[in-house]
């Protein structure tokens, strides 16, 4: 009996000891977890990329190398993309009953495109876009984030008819800073003083990425003024790289191919990676009833050196005083597409004749020459030449690129002309 009693006491002792140790371990664990919670609240850890962006929307975190969602990329990039409305005025022959032309009649039309804010200085914002967006435009209107693009279209239509509605705000006039037609690139300049203060606080310069790092299958986001409705966001994937494609307005080489929806009005807009960096300038959609989801963009790494050179050019405004406008002294005419194709030359302004003693004659221009560039700006027609000269003052030197027929074929070359003062007499000269 005595041994059994001792055994019972021993078992009870072990049970009590086990329960005590369990309670003690539980108390220590609870204190440890509580202390850890206090430490975390006292010393906050770094926020996630999305939280970081929400607190500082002006910049993309430079150390973050991961990916955002499409919504986050859109939120970051929308302030960098603009809608562009262009007004083009074309001269068409004014035909009568017997088919004879007795002059020209102006025909005005509007177009839609997009642009990316890529730089600034103290006075101006610089906007990159496609050359074909602003080609032949007599005036350009820019809408920033939050502005009513439909109002810009209305403003443009009123401008064509000589009516200005002062109640429409937020629509800013842009000036062509420089163009590179061969690469389908252009830079516009907008005066900061003309941008409403509240708009200036919202917009920002785009973050430029490295398109050389893109891989097939990578997700991308496109933002642009699709169909002229305003900023639109679409997403897709990189379908192919380094594509060469033939378009009606020329050959595109080294392009990024994507299945992201690229529609009319998207041209000049941004193609972004999932870090919110611009890696391409949307250029064209392959349009065909048998083709679906095939768009193209100019790689930003190829475009940046060209855009930087264009941004360095002098911003020119139209000189309203005709007595101060530069004068060349040529009688220009149009080159038709048929003649251009047949002779294998660019469209331009045909020199029908040169005024005696004019700057053109002194520079060596001759009848039969075709002017295709003026100061680096492409000349497609007689009107192009006369319009561009309105931005230069008498006394300025300009570099002119021409085609001249020599030894059975057209050869290109350059001449320099010192612009003179426009004579008082009214003649069809430029």
The candidate with the shortest Cα–Cα distance to 115, out of 150, 92, 147, 141, is: 141
Strand runs labelled E in 42-136: 81-95, 101-120, 124-129
Residue where the block lists tokens 């004659």? 361
CA distances from 428 to 25, 245, 323, 327, 355 (A): 102, 40, 16, 12, 11
Pairing between strand 409-418 and 397-406? antiparallel
Catalytic (active site) residue 358: no
The C-alpha atoms of residue 327 and residue 174 are separated, in whole angstroms, by 25
Exactly one of 139, 211, 267, 358 is catalytic; which is it?
Answer: 267
**251 CB neighbour count, 10 Å cutoff:** 10
Of the residues 147, 180, 184, 375, only one is catalytic, namely 184
Distances (CA, A) of 224 to 73, 139, 143: 14, 20, 12
Do the beta carbons of residue 165 and residue 154 sit within 8 Å? yes
CA-to-CA separations, 250 to 132, 245, 261, 336, 412, in angstroms, rounded: 10, 9, 22, 16, 19
Active-site residue among 132, 139, 141, 381?
Answer: 132
Whether 132 is catalytic: yes
Positions marked catalytic: 132, 184, 267
């Amino acid at each position: 009996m005595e041994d059994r009693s001792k055994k019972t006491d021993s078992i009870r002792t072990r049970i009590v000891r086990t329960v005590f140790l369990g309670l003690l371990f539980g108390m220590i664990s609870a204190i440890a977890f509580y202390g850890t919670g206090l430490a975390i609240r006292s010393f906050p850890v770094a926020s996630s990329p999305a939280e970081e962006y929400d607190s500082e929307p002006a910049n993309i975190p430079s150390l973050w190398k991961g990916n955002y969602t499409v919504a986050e990329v859109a939120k970051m990039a929308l302030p960098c993309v603009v809608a562009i409305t262009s007004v083009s005025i074309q001269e068409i022959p004014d035909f009568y009953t017997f088919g004879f032309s007795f002059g020209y009649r102006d025909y005005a039309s509007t177009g839609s495109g997009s642009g990316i804010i890529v730089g600034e200085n103290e006075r101006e914002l610089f906007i990159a876009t496609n050359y074909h967006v602003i080609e032949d435009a007599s005036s350009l209107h820019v809408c920033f984030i939050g502005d009513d693009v439909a109002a810009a279209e209305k403003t443009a239509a009123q401008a064509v008819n000589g009516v200005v509605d002062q109640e429409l705000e937020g629509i800013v006039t842009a000036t062509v800073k420089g163009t590179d037609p061969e690469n389908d690139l252009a830079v516009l300049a907008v005066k900061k003083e003309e941008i409403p203060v509240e708009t200036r606080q919202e917009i920002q310069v785009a973050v430029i990425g490295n398109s050389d790092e893109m891989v097939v299958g990578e997700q991308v986001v496109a933002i642009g003024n699709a169909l002229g409705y305003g900023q639109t966001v679409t997403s897709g994937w990189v379908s192919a790289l380094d594509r060469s494609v033939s378009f009606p307005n020329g050959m595109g080489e080294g392009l990024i191919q994507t299945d992201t929806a690229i529609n009319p009005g998207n041209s000049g807009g941004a193609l972004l990676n999932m870090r919110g960096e611009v890696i391409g300038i949307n250029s064209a959609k392959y349009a065909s009833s048998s083709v679906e989801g095939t768009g193209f963009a100019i790689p930003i790494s190829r475009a940046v050196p060209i855009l930087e050179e264009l941004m360095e050019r002098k911003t020119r405004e139209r000189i309203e005083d005709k007595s101060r406008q530069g004068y060349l002294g040529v009688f220009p005419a149009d080159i038709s597409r048929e003649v251009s194709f047949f002779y294998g030359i660019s469209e331009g302004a045909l020199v029908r004749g040169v005024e005696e003693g004019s700057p053109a004659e002194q520079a060596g221009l001759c009848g039969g020459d075709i002017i295709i560039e003026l100061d680096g700006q492409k000349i497609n027609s007689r009107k192009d030449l006369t319009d561009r000269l309105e931005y230069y003052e008498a006394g300025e030197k300009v570099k002119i690129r021409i085609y001249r027929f020599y030894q059975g074929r057209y050869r290109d070359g350059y001449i320099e002309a010192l612009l003179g003062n426009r004579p008082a007499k009214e003649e069809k000269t430029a």
